A and B are shown apart, each in its own frame.
Chain A
Amino acid sequence: MTTVGATATPPGGWRRRLFAAAPYILLAPGLLWLLYFFIWPAVQMFLMSISSGSLDSGFRVTGTLKPYTDALTKFSTQWGNSLLYGAISTTLDFLIGFPVAYAIAFRGGRFKNLLLFLVIAPFFTSFLIRTISWQILLGDEGPVLGFLKHVVGILPVDFSILYSPVAVIAGLTYNFLPFMILPLYVALEKIDIRTLEAAGDLYANGWRTFWKVTFPLALPGVFAGTILTFIPTMGDYVNAELLGSPKTRMIGNVIQGRFLQSNDYPTASALSFVLMAGILIAVLIYARALGTEQLTG
């Protein structure tokens, strides 16, 4: 027996070593890709944000904080717009999304899958094309305003929505609504219907059951949904560009313009970092406010 075991060990040895290394072999290529094209760029952008120079003379890391003071002081309108539009459209998404997710989870019946499919249907068309559709819809002579102006006649002829903050908020609310509905649905769907029945048995009325049982149990979904809506809204520049005017520019428009048109990379990098840091801090405060222990569920 022992001799057989001894002769079997040499080939088994390198094979075993290969299989011990298997997880690292499996991980290496993908993680290297993320290291090279996600982590390294982020580090480079940080270095760029404390650099001075221009595209012609080259950029040198000087440890200057000027890009950050510029980023924080020069663009207060755009920061304000981002925060305001982000907050309003995330709130609207929640107010629209929660009843929809609730209805699909508890009242969907055999239409559940069809309804979910309709919620994600917008993803089957390009984000840009959907925003262009809003341009058409909200146009001064478009299907909505044109009808109300010339057929119904309740609006003055010069009434306009396109290129106003309302149009930008409408576009943002629209484009990120599915990101709100889906996590809310997942959280509500997980709720055991018997806990709601138990609340009823204990003489809680529908309203009380909702606020004391359903909503607290849905909090992880509320958290995920608001985060998934708020983050892309804060970084968006397409809605503000296509549906807005120079007055409705958001911080994303500034970052895009500084990077792609004026080649002011240090300020643009500093703006991106402030945006990232701001989002991170907001998420942490929000997690604390909702109660982190509920979010692990």
Chain B
Amino acid sequence: MTAASAAVARSGNRTDRVGRSISHWALPAFTILAIGYLLIPIVVMIVFSFNDYQGKFNFIWHGFTLNAWEEPLAWPGLPDAIRISLTVAFLSTLFSTILGTMIGLALTRYQFRGRGAINGLIFLPMASPEIVLGASLLTLFINIGLRNGVLPPGLTLLPKSALSLGFTTILIAHIMFNISYVVVTVKARLAGFDRRLEEAAMDLGANEWTTFWRVTFPLILPGVVAAALLAFSLSIDDFVITNFVSGTTNTFPMWVYGVIRNALPAQINVIGSIVFLSAVAFVAATTLRSGRAIRTH
């Protein structure tokens, strides 16, 4: 081996060694830092829910108190906003899960023309910036109110006030943006579906209706539940689209957006913490349960 090739081999080893130590130490350290970055605002939210702040703005740490936790709803408009958020989230989840599951079933179980176009139509709302979805819906509702432009058939039969900005328009918007997410989630679950199970049920004398409710539905149920949970969390958190179509009706994010101009009450942090901790508890509980189910099988 010549000196030159030995030097090349050694330098190769050195870069290899550097590479290996990066992947052994730097990579995990970097990952931990990055995840810390993702979690810092959540920690701040929880810690500052216990802040005994001075004045109206909960910006600077002044000491520990349980005041906000003892009265988590003690701000004008807050209880109403939470009630509206929960109602909209519940109803939009219900409707979008039904509509989206039906589309998901049709797309995966039947052959028909125009599937490509329908897949595109499902994908588009997810690919559009939220601000454009909100703005275009607002344009529709304004035009209906003004009886302006070319209105979709049927909607003009409704009284003018039926679609004035408020609860109904928020609900319409939330169902709209949730449908696509439900379709995608349900389709993912249906992709691994064994059609022979349905054929077996039919061979054993079950009709289509019984087969659907006794065989198909229980099998796709986990996908439907996952889709519903996703829809619920998207709805309860939505601000950008709701801001365009809500008029003077406040959902929780809308209420927060309105109140932070004049004050930053710790109650925002308390509600945020409650939502976060219940979501974490829910995920932990389902993970533990499914883990146990796998072990007992």
Which residues does A use to contact B, with CB under 8 Å?
19, 22-24, 26-27, 29-31, 33-45, 47-48, 58-59, 61, 96-97, 99-100, 102-104, 107, 113, 115, 117-119, 121-130, 132-137, 139, 141-143, 146, 174, 177-178, 205-207, 231-232, 234-238, 242, 252, 255-256, 259-260, 265, 268-269, 272, 275-276, 279
Chain A nearest Cβ from B136, distance in angstroms? 4
Q: Are A115 and B137 in contact (CB under 8 A)?
A: no
Closest residue of chain A to B280 (Cβ to Cβ) is A124
Chain A nearest Cβ from B279, distance in angstroms? 4
Closest residue of chain A to B234 (Cβ to Cβ) is A123
Q: A115 to chain B: which residues have CB within 8 Å? A: 31, 35
- Other than the given A35-B152, A41-B136, 14 more pairs (CB < 8 A) read A24-B106, A24-B112, A29-B102, A30-B183, A36-B152, A40-B140, A41-B140, A103-B31, A104-B31, A107-B27, A117-B283, A126-B239, A174-B38, A231-B129
A134 to B20, CA, bound (A): 36
Chain B nearest Cβ from A126, distance in angstroms? 5
Chain A nearest Cβ from B54, distance in angstroms? 12
Chain A nearest Cβ from B61, distance in angstroms? 7
A26 to B14, CA, bound (A): 63
Q: Are A255 and B135 in contact (CB under 8 A)?
A: yes
A68 to B246, CA, bound (A): 27
Q: Are A133 and B44 in contact (CB under 8 A)?
A: yes
Q: Are B132 and A121 in contact (CB under 8 A)?
A: no
A188 to B275, CA, bound (A): 32
Q: Are A61 and B283 in contact (CB under 8 A)?
A: no
Chain A nearest Cβ from B107, distance in angstroms? 8
Closest residue of chain B to A104 (Cβ to Cβ) is B31
Question: B70-78, B191-199, B216-224, B252-260: which one contacts chain A?
Answer: B252-260
Closest residue of chain A to B128 (Cβ to Cβ) is A276
Which residues does B use to contact A, with CB under 8 Å?
12, 15-16, 19-20, 23, 27-28, 30-31, 34-35, 37-42, 44-45, 48, 58-61, 99-100, 102-103, 105-107, 109-110, 112, 118, 121-122, 124-125, 127-133, 135-140, 142-143, 146, 148-150, 152, 155, 172-173, 175-176, 179-180, 183, 208, 233, 237, 239-240, 243-244, 252-253, 256-257, 260, 264, 268-269, 272, 275-276, 279-280, 283, 287
Which among A37, A125, A235 is the interface contact of B45 at CB below 8 angstroms?
A125
Q: Are A259 and B28 in contact (CB under 8 A)?
A: no
Q: Are B149 and A99 in contact (CB under 8 A)?
A: no
Q: A121 to chain B: which residues have CB within 8 Å? A: 38-39, 42, 276, 280
A284 to B207, CA, bound (A): 48
Q: Are A132 and B30 in contact (CB under 8 A)?
A: no
Which among A29, A96, A125, A128 is the interface contact of B239 at CB below 8 angstroms?
A128
Instruction: Using A26-B105, A30-B102, A126-B275 as known contacts, say yes or no to A37 and B42 having CB atoms under 8 A apart.
Output: no
Q: Are A23 and B112 in contact (CB under 8 A)?
A: yes
Chain A nearest Cβ from B77, distance in angstroms? 15
Q: A47 to chain B: which residues have CB within 8 Å? A: 149-150
Closest residue of chain B to A144 (Cβ to Cβ) is B40
Q: B103 to chain A: which residues have CB within 8 Å? A: 26-27, 30-31
Q: B12 to chain A: which residues have CB within 8 Å? A: 205
Q: B107 to chain A: which residues have CB within 8 Å? A: 27
Q: Are B146 and A34 in contact (CB under 8 A)?
A: no
A123 to B173, CA, bound (A): 20
Closest residue of chain A to B16 (Cβ to Cβ) is A205
Chain B nearest Cβ from A83, distance in angstroms? 14
A-B contact pairs, 11 of them (CB 8 A): A34-B179, A41-B137, A61-B149, A117-B283, A121-B38, A122-B39, A125-B41, A135-B264, A136-B59, A177-B38, A276-B132
A113 to B138, CA, bound (A): 40
Q: Are B146 and A45 in contact (CB under 8 A)?
A: no
Closest residue of chain A to B287 (Cβ to Cβ) is A113
A234 to B41, CA, bound (A): 22
Q: Are A58 and B31 in contact (CB under 8 A)?
A: no
Chain B nearest Cβ from A200, distance in angstroms? 10
